[in-house]
């Protein structure tokens, strides 16, 4: 696909912060996403959905990215409901959209799916991801290998895909790790913006809860690996958005 010039920014909708020690080391979620897309800062606009500032018109964005949060989407806070309505407009306008973790769940819920706590508890660590057949012709996933590792940390998950959602990837623990709805709106439950050091902070913070749930924390730490295939999805999304992939 030939890349074309696009003066519109990719809009990152901020929905939360990572832990202070991570911010001090490598910045916040939006910094990880910008670095992962390998874009200059002036090619991106960051808008915090929680503080009441107006969300951009979908058509003023080359693409939209909603990342992670420590909040639970089922809290249905007013800003979450406003963001869900806006997300529906983005999908309808066929603006390239990528939701990660909280953003993945927001996309599913906004479009008629369901989200709740995972019945087996939190998934955390470097986890295996397997693609489904539909990924072979998907613009975002077509170049991916059938199996790859990715970083995950989530307590809630998409329990039912929205009507028309196309399942792209999953694993035995979490069947809905990736899906597409419409022409170019994708949700990823895993984190392409994480690396082992960033995920280690989460494991450290959550160790008491993980141990109380019977998780082998030492094994989770020992299993952390680099995830270049997963990370490549951010660059691929930026390329698709800036190439006006939905036109």
What six digits make up the tokens of 163? 């009507």
Name residue, tokens 């949700």. Answer: 187
List helix spans (H) across the chain. Answer: 20-26, 29-37, 78-92, 102-110, 196-212, 217-222, 228-242
For position 92, what pLDDT does the model report? 97
| pLDDT given for residue 1 in this prediction | 32
Give the pLDDT band of residue 48 (cuts 50, 70, 90): very high
Instruction: Report in angstroms the alpha-carbon separations of 161 from 4, 18, 70, 113, 181.
Output: 33, 27, 22, 5, 9
pLDDT band at 245 (very low <50, low <70, confident <90, very high): low
- Please confirm, yes or no, whether 226 is among the known catalytic residues: no
Determine the average pLDDT of the residues in 114-138.
97
Alpha-carbon distance of 193 to 27, in angstroms, equals: 12
Q: Note the pTM of the prediction, 2 decimals.
A: 0.95
pLDDT of residue 7: 85
What confidence score (pLDDT) does residue 4 get?
40
246 is catalytic: no
Q: Is 101 a catalytic residue?
A: yes
Q: Specify the DSSP class assigned to residue 143.
A: T
Q: Is residue 4 part of a domain?
A: no
Q: Is 36 exposed, middle or buried (0-12, 13-18, 19+ CB in 10 A)?
A: buried
Distance CA 152, CA 57 (A): 31
Nearest to 120 by CA among 157, 150, 152, 151: 157
Beta-bridge partners for 64? 11, 97
Catalytic-role residue among 30, 123, 174, 193: 193
Q: How many CA atoms does the CB half-sphere of 44 hold within 13 Å?
A: 21
Question: Does residue 102 lie within any of the structural domains?
Answer: yes
246 belongs to a structural domain: no
Has residue 10 got a pLDDT over 90? yes
Is residue 3 included in any domain, yes or no? no
C-alpha 11/C-alpha 235 separation (Å) is 15
Q: What's the number of CA atoms in the CB half-sphere (13 Å) around residue 150?
A: 32
Whether 111 is in a domain gets the answer yes
Closest CA to 143 of 230, 22, 46, 26: 230
CATH number of the domain at 94, please: 3.40.50.880
Catalytic residue among 11, 61, 101, 184: 101
* Structural domain that includes position 56: 10-241
For the residues 70-74, what does the mean pLDDT come to? Answer: 96
Is position 247 within any domain?
Answer: no
Q: Is residue 51 part of a domain?
A: yes
Average pLDDT, the chain: 95
Q: Provide the domain count of the chain.
A: 1
pLDDT at 5: 45
Q: Is residue 2 part of a domain?
A: no
Question: Which pLDDT score is estimated for 52?
Answer: 86
The answer to whether the CB of 101 falls within 8 A of the CB of 156 is no
Residue percentage of the chain with pLDDT more than 90: 94
Confidence check: pLDDT of 247 > 80? no
Q: How many residues does the chain have?
A: 247
pLDDT band at 54 (very low <50, low <70, confident <90, very high): very high
Is residue 45 pLDDT above 60, yes or no?
A: yes
DSSP code, position 146: S
According to the model, what pLDDT value does residue 233 have?
Answer: 98
Tokens of 45: 């606009």
Average pLDDT value for residue range 208-225: 97
């Amino acid at each position: 696909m030939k890349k074309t010039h696009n003066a519109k920014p990719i809009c990152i909708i901020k929905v939360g912060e990572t832990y202070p020690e991570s911010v001090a080391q490598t910045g916040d979620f939006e910094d990880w996403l910008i670095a992962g897309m390998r874009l200059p800062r002036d090619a991106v606009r960051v808008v915090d959905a929680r503080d009441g500032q107006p969300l951009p018109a979908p058509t003023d964005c080359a693409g939209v990215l909603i990342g992670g949060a420590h909040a639970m989407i089922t809290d249905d806070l007013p800003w979450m409901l406003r963001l869900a309505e806006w997300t529906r407009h983005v999908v309808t306008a066929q603006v390239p959209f990528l939701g990660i973790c909280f953003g993945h769940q927001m996309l599913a819920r906004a479009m008629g799916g369901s989200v709740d706590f995972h019945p087996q508890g939190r998934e955390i660590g470097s986890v295996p991801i397997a693609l489904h057949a539909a990924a072979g012709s998907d613009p975002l996933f077509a170049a991916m290998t059938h199996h790859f590792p990715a970083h995950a940390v989530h307590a809630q998950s998409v329990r039912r895909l929205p009507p028309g959602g196309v399942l792209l990837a999953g694993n035995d623990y979490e069947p809905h790790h990736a899906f597409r709805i419409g022409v170019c709106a994708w949700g990823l439950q895993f984190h392409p913006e994480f690396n082992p050091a960033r995920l280690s902070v989460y494991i450290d913070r959550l160790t008491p809860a993980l141990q109380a749930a019977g998780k082998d924390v030492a094994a989770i730490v020992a299993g952390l690996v680099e995830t270049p295939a997963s990370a490549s999805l951010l660059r691929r999304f930026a390329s698709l958005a800036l190439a006006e992939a939905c036109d």
